[in-house]
Each structure stands twice: as C-alpha cells, then as structure tokens.
C-alpha cells in the first residue's frame, strides 16, 4: 500500500473513532440532564387561577396567560403556574423581542422602547420559564413587557422575582399574577404610545392545603432599597386600583379571607 493510501486510511479511521466518541459523549450528557415537566402538568387541583379581564382579550401561551390592554399597549395582567421543578438554570440563547402573534390588534413594536430611557421589563420573567426553550422564548413577546426604569427593573423588581422563585422551591407550587397599574394620563413612549405605569404589582398564591395563603405587593416605579415586606398590600386594594377580580374561582370563604389579608408572617423573608 502506498504512503498516500496509508495516510487516507489512518485519517478515515480517526474520523470514525472521533465521531463514535462524540456520539457516546452526547448520549451520556443527555442521560444526565433532568427531564423537567411544564408546571401546568403539576396543576392537579384543576384550579382555574386566571383573573377576570377588563378588556376581554385573554391570550394563552404555553407557559403563561395574559389579558392584553390595547389602549396601554401591554398586558393588564400576566398569570402563570410556577412549580419548584420549573426552577432550572439552563442558559438558553436570548432571543429578540417580537410582537405577540396571538394578539390580533398587534402588540407594541420593540422599537417603541428604543432610546426611550426604559427597559423592556418582563412581567413573566424568562428566568421562570427556563425548563424549555419554547416557554423561555415566549416571554420575549412584547405583550409580556412593560416600560421599566433600569434601576427599578434590575433592583427591587428583580429582587421580588428572585424571592418568588425561592418561595416556589420552598412551598412547592405557586400561582403568580403580575402587571402594571394601568390608569388614565400615564406617560407614554414611542409611536404606539406605550404607557409607563407608576406602580407595578405582583400577587402570589400558594394553593396548598391545609395552609392556603397569598401575598400581594404594590411597588412604586422607582429605585428602592426598602425590604420587600414594606410593599405588602391586600389583594382587595389591588382589585380596587385595577378593577380586576384576581381569583374569582376561589371559594368565597377562602377568597374573602385571603384578599383582605396583609399579614406576611407566614411567608419566609430570609
């Protein structure tokens, strides 16, 4: 056999060996990755946690639902189920923000935020939906964002998002509703006139018997170093400000008690 044929044979053999090694390595890696189920599969109570909509425009995505307000070009609320198994740390590639294909009137274009001085602040955080790339990427629809001051978005709001994930791991399964307070005469940005809320809220429900509990936050849209418990309010107060019935499917005896409550002592603020 000539030297050139020997070299070709050796190269071919090496390619086959390396290809086999890479295939085996990929199979071993995939075998070690935990299979995380969507939190909706853990909603075995059959509990309908969606609030009422003041606009009648409810959009359902894989990982979250929202009520879109065309007048303010953003969601009046975003709601989703958050199970402890959803809290994973897979780093998906960050996609571009795009309009929501399910909003018939079209959600605001991302260019409204360009040079506005405001972040595209997530309502349902991408960090809560890392269990699948599809669920993660859905959070980058512009129907799921609201103009947020960067110090607020990266500060107290981010702190609350991290605390929500902590509670999901501690209490097993939560329902989360969040949004901006959409009212008259708000400042707007861009040609679509996207409203800039003065306040943002988040409601967290632990629908686990025997201790069913809920906690609600109303945070001014500005930087703050105050502890989170300083922003605890009743759900009743948020309903008065928004005109939304947040948990209409709760039995009245439970709903009335939870929504009037401002006690945060049964939530861990470590």
Averaged over successive runs of 10 residues, the pLDDT of the chain (270 residues) comes to 59 54 44 40 62 96 96 97 93 94 94 96 96 95 97 97 96 96 97 97 92 95 96 97 95 92 87
The predicted pLDDT at position 36 comes to 38
> Distance between terminal CA atoms of the chain?
74
Contact yes or no for 96/140 (Cβ under 8 A): yes
CA 175 to mean position of chain CA atoms: 11
**So what's the pLDDT on residue 17?**
55
Judged by DSSP in three states, 153 sits in helix
pLDDT computed for residue 137 by the predictor: 96
Q: Are strands 199-206 and 74-83 parallel, antiparallel or unpaired?
A: unpaired
Q: pTM for this one? A: 0.82
Q: What is the pLDDT of residue 32?
A: 34
Going by C-alpha positions, the residue among 203, 202, 208, 209 that lies closest to residue 173 is 208
User: Taking phi first (over 0 means left), then psi (-120 to 50 degrees means alpha), and beta for anything else, what does residue 108 get?
Assistant: beta
Under a CB-based contact definition with an 8 Å cutoff, are residues 76 and 54 in contact? yes
């Amino acid at each position: 056999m000539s030297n050139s044929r020997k070299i070709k044979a050796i190269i071919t053999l090496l390619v086959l060996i390396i290809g086999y090694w890479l295939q085996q390595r990929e199979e071993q890696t995939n075998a070690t990755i935990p299979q995380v189920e969507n939190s909706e599969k853990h909603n075995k109570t059959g509990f309908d946690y969606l609030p009422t909509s003041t606009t009648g425009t409810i959009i359902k995505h894989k990982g979250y639902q929202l009520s879109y307000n065309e007048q303010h070009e953003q969601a009046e609320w975003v709601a989703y189920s958050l199970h402890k198994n959803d809290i994973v740390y897979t780093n998906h590639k960050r996609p571009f923000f795009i309009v929501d294909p399910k909003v018939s009137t079209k959600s605001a274009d991302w260019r409204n935020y360009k040079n506005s001085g405001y972040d595209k602040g997530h309502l349902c955080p991408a960090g809560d939906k890392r269990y699948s790339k599809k669920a993660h990427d859905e959070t980058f629809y512009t129907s799921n964002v609201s103009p947020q001051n960067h110090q607020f978005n990266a500060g107290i709001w981010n702190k609350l998002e991290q605390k929500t994930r902590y509670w999901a791991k501690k209490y097993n399964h939560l329902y989360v509703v969040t949004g901006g307070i959409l009212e008259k005469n708000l400042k707007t940005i861009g040609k679509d006139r996207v409203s800039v809320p003065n306040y943002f809220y988040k409601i967290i429900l632990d629908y686990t018997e025997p201790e069913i509990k809920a906690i609600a936050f109303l945070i001014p849209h500005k930087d703050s170093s105050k502890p989170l418990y300083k922003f605890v309010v009743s759900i009743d107060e948020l309903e008065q400000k928004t005109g939304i019935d947040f948990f209409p499917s709760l039995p009245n005896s439970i709903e009335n008690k939870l929504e009037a409550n401002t006690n945060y002592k049964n939530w861990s603020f470590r």
